[in-house]
Structure 1
């Protein structure tokens, strides 16, 4: 007896959710990606710790000096710029680590904190300093305006860089992985060094554009993610035609119907 074909869309919600949970549980970054993500997070943490340490130095030593001279103001501005640079650098490295080794949306608190940590660090690295500058009794109005204004601008920049409006997740990676396998029959994608997404085949027009090293790379979805590619291209329909791929669902629906046995007269 022939088996009935059941599409994922026809599954009950609980079974569909169960299938997604299984995909997410089975999806893992490559060991290389995991190792690189760990290294990037350590470097980001060091950058943030140094930034907060400089903030403490500025608050508890520089702002305590009296009289507060122009030379001190210049050095305070230098420290503020360095804090901003370290905060932004840490956020960029942290974001890259999250792409390599994403969190699961199922763990809501961890997912939010892990992906928006850069913005929290920016607030922590600048807000106390701005408050202490504006309320400092050793500085005059002009000095407060210069130091406070510079810190305020860099705080906004660091917060904007730290925020991730579209954070990566294990769920998204698992769904992309599943989609690639369903469309092509195998876990293999293609990308270029300068591209941000991965593609269905080496014939896709996007991977044949001029690139930095003029090479096309191939590997699993996990390997593409490990190389900094964030997701599957949105030009799936176009690439299916360019690659000459007929998805299983289309192939099945376009196949000629099997002849039905003629009814036997009663």
Structure 2
């Protein structure tokens, strides 16, 4: 029998996200958790996922703010190019200050954009849009810096030392912000849909758990990883869409361990449709490997790292 959670459980209201499947995929019933005998045997599924109206609206606001910040960054770049660099004696402190401000604006905009993408992700089916939407922060950082860097080194009013200092700082800031702005694990509609279908298939309902400090979400309140100590001592419970709205990146990869800890039928892992199994990395190797996010590791001091 699974142990009772040690933390206070906070139920998050289920948002009105829609998920559909073109063929039978979930094995749950209203009476409780599914069993392997009720589950389909690796049938092809094509789940579709749409964000909740609340999530889509919030994503729209974040994207609008991002565009405003990028516009301000490019305006700062234009001011540096068409006024600061045009002076006979270039004000180095003003130029360096503008470089720092442009970098800060670009970084904040990129972080807000990535947050919006987790609320309203793109589809992997459109490769170009998927790449641009998820890497727009890095792209806009280059736009906000590269013309300025080129014109700094071509400027006739600056000596070699000044060009080296200003150009070097601009290059360093552009690289640092670009690396932070890039999305190395971009979300997708397909990922969210497969995660939701997987959770329903394994547990019988669209319900997962997570903590404020963790990066992934889990199958139940009694999963060991979600019960590690944290500052607020709370476990949040709700649908997959709510977990993503709370900033959680993905479903845990410790599915085998959590199926045992939650009291679900392990045989259900073998009945996952191939596309869902591939999407959540359900393989013997992954089932026996510790999850990468810090929340799934042993706690240190008073909070999970």
Structure 2 counterpart of 1:135: 154
Structure 1: unaligned runs, 5 residues or longer = 253-266
In the alignment, the residues of structure 2 paired with residue 166 and residue 140 of structure 1 have an alpha-carbon distance, to the nearest angstrom, of 43
Residues 24-77 of structure 1, C-alpha deviation per residue, up to 9 Å, x if partnerless?
2xx122222212211111111111110000000000000000122xxx100110
Aligned equivalent of 1:92? 111
Could you say which residue in structure 2 is the equivalent of 1:106? 125
Other-structure match for 2:142: 123
1:29 paired to 2:51: yes
TM-score, with length taken from structure 2: 0.73
Structure with bigger RCO (C-alpha 8 Å, 6+ apart): 2
| Matching of residue 46 in structure 1 with residue 65 in structure 2 | no
Q: Is the 8 A contact 1:62 1:76 kept in 2?
A: yes
Q: Tell whether the 8 Å contact from 2:134 to 2:186 is kept in structure 1 after alignment.
A: yes
CA shift, 1:247, in A, is 4.6
SS at structure 2 position matched to 1:137: coil
- 8 Å Cα contact 1:30-1:226 kept in structure 2: no
Q: Which sections of structure 2, spanning at least 5 residues, go unmatched?
A: 1-37, 272-305
Change (3 A) 1:86 1:233: same
Task: Return the alpha-carbon distance in structure 1 between the equivalents of residues 136 and 269 of structure 2.
Answer: 44
3-state DSSP of counterpart to 2:248: coil
Bigger helix share: 1
User: Residue 143 and residue 5 in structure 1: after superposition, are their counterparts in 2 closer, same or farther (change >3 A)?
Assistant: closer
Q: Could you tell me whether the CA contact under 8 Å between 1:182 and 1:247 is conserved in 2?
A: no
In structure 2, the CA distance between the partners of 1:246 and 1:6, relative to structure 1 (3 Å rule), is: closer
- Higher-Rg structure is 1
Deviations 1:109-153 (A, max 9, x none): 211110011111011011000000000000111111110000000
Give the aligned partner of residue 164 of structure 2: 145
Aligned with residue 7 of structure 1, among 41, 49, 58: 41
SS of equivalent to 1:115: helix
- Secondary structure of 2:234's match? coil
CA distance in 2 between counterparts of 1:240 and 1:54 reads: 53
